[in-house]
Structure 1
């Protein structure tokens, strides 16, 4: 990375940090552009071009995310106070915006948070920060584990990646109907093809959730399966992302040749689970990439 680009990223990082630390303050365009020392006449376009969302949208999402944290801590604040702190003049307006974004009312979320839509709703915030993150792996980031066999329920995705959201919706609907939660049952993706095959229709991937419950015939196209046990190289990925290509590239191109290990005849797969951090208001995503070894 060139020195000018590093400086640009540092200035943009300063803006994100300032916004996150001053959500109760005045975060208009003039204020945040001064933090980055950019012209306010161009800053909104620079911010949007860099992060793929506007300053106003980023602030909205950041305030809503903080509100969801406070709701999850039952009894900490009233819904009305949380709505006001999020910048809404009335609880009804806050409730409408909250339901539209997370699929639950604030009171329902406080009683029983559904964290999977939460991750999706606030994904743009993670993506914004990832734009400035240059993830560099080294040998110490990889551990070799003996992984036990894991019974799973599987929904196969075959075909163009553009239809993955539909596959995810069907899988999520089945998971919820079966009473399986990503907080207690880890989810897996088994990558059976390249991420971007030359022929888009050749893309192949399995969505799985760990469970030893029987899969009934009426549950088709869900089917039972097992992720085989054995030795695996495991790379833990920082943060929540759907793009594991940098991690996969590192394992195949750099780690495997230097390790003296050989890959086993089973595809690379990822494991994701939500974990509540003690004394912290949000959920952490535990995301790991597994390369099966001989």
Structure 2
């Protein structure tokens, strides 16, 4: 049911329609959904739409009127009122300077419910050893509180647009230099990377040339939300690696963003996680 809501979030999702899909009466379905999710159905659907809308505002630069229509609102004003009530900012204000703390707080129950109900269990069959190619990249480094990462992503996307490095023609990577579970917020570091053979011209964004070295890697494909890659990374380090007899080499774990939310529904996003091996 959660996948169906993701897939059809831009359409009318009535209680009658969803309860018939679930093969429950609408009375029992609504109560059961609320009991399991910790959120009423209409509230959950609103959050699905608002998450997609907020990502489009922050990272895609689409017109507010188009985002409002896709989110199921008849007018931009109605969307703006609902958005402000939810996040404490207007859509335009959020686009310019997102308050990510309020945003994260609004999705606490939503994220917890999805993490519990859409949990993926990994096995050794999900891991493939591949020969990853050497990849020259343009790099913007985020240093500091992970809660501020969204601001760095915005700057990186703006730089990519200015240089024509669109994700369709330039693969997107993240390199995880530190573990947020064991690193102080001010010491957190993550690299945002776009594959390119071109020399990066001097710029005010702080983007530089870098290199993801080629070599053997354990690759684990993650399908669904990539907001938190802790679980698949822990599987690779805690379970797969000791059982495999392999050894890691001197480069951090990294990922390639293959299919992006909000360009695809959240449960259809694809992220390939790479653990470099000797």
- Please indicate the TM-score interval, normalised by the length of the shorter structure: 0.5 to 0.7
For residue 222 of structure 2, what is the aligned residue in structure 1? 237
Q: For 1:193, which of 178, 182, 191 is the aligned residue? A: 178
Gapped regions of structure 2 (runs ≥ 5)? 54-68, 83-90, 95-106
The two structures have a TM-score, normalised by structure 1, of: 0.64
- Provide closer, same or farther for how the CA distance between residues 62 and 174 of structure 1 changes in structure 2, counting only shifts above 3 A: closer
- The CA distance in 2 between the partners of 1:62 and 1:157, in whole Å, is 23
Residue deviations 1:91-125, cap 9 Å, x none?
x779989xx59x9xxxxxxxxxxxxxxxxxxxx7x
- Provide closer, same or farther for how the CA distance between residues 172 and 35 of structure 1 changes in structure 2, counting only shifts above 3 A: same
Q: Is the 8 A contact 2:128 2:220 kept in 1?
A: yes
Shift of 1:20: 6.7
Shift of 1:195: 2.1
- The CA distance in 2 between the partners of 1:36 and 1:16, in whole Å, is 21
Q: For 1:169, which of 154, 161, 168 is the aligned residue? A: 154
CA RMSD, aligned part only?
Answer: 4.4
For residue 236 of structure 2, what is the aligned residue in structure 1? 251
Q: For 2:117, which of 132, 144, 151 is the aligned residue? A: 132
Gapped regions of structure 1 (runs ≥ 5)? 1-12, 65-82, 104-123, 276-280
Q: Is the 8 A contact 2:30 2:40 kept in 1?
A: no
Corresponding position: 1:287 with 2:278: no
Shift of 1:165: 1.5
Shift of 1:60: 5.2
Tell me the SS of whatever aligns to 1:250: helix
Shift of 1:135: 1.1
Shift of 1:162: 2.0
- 1:31-180 → structure 2 map (5 Å cutoff): 35=26, 37=28, 46=35, 49=38, 54-55=43-44, 57-58=46-47, 127=111, 129-180=114-165
- Provide closer, same or farther for how the CA distance between residues 249 and 94 of structure 1 changes in structure 2, counting only shifts above 3 A: same
- Provide closer, same or farther for how the CA distance between residues 193 and 62 of structure 1 changes in structure 2, counting only shifts above 3 A: closer
Residue deviations 1:115-168, cap 9 Å, x none?
xxxxxxxxx7x9564441121000000000001100100011111212211111
- The CA distance in 1 between the partners of 2:130 and 2:6, in whole Å, is 40
- The CA distance in 2 between the partners of 1:264 and 1:88, in whole Å, is 51
Return the index of the structure with the highest Cα Rg. 1
Q: For 2:15, which of 27, 30, 39 is the aligned residue? A: 27
- The CA distance in 2 between the partners of 1:52 and 1:205, in whole Å, is 36
- The CA distance in 1 between the partners of 2:194 and 2:115, in whole Å, is 26
Q: For 1:260, which of 220, 224, 245 is the aligned residue? A: 245
- The CA distance in 1 between the partners of 2:176 and 2:37, in whole Å, is 32
- The CA distance in 1 between the partners of 2:256 and 2:123, in whole Å, is 20
- The CA distance in 2 between the partners of 1:155 and 1:51, in whole Å, is 40
Shift of 1:63: 11
Q: Is the 8 A contact 1:197 1:203 kept in 2?
A: no
Q: Is the 8 A contact 1:47 1:53 kept in 2?
A: no
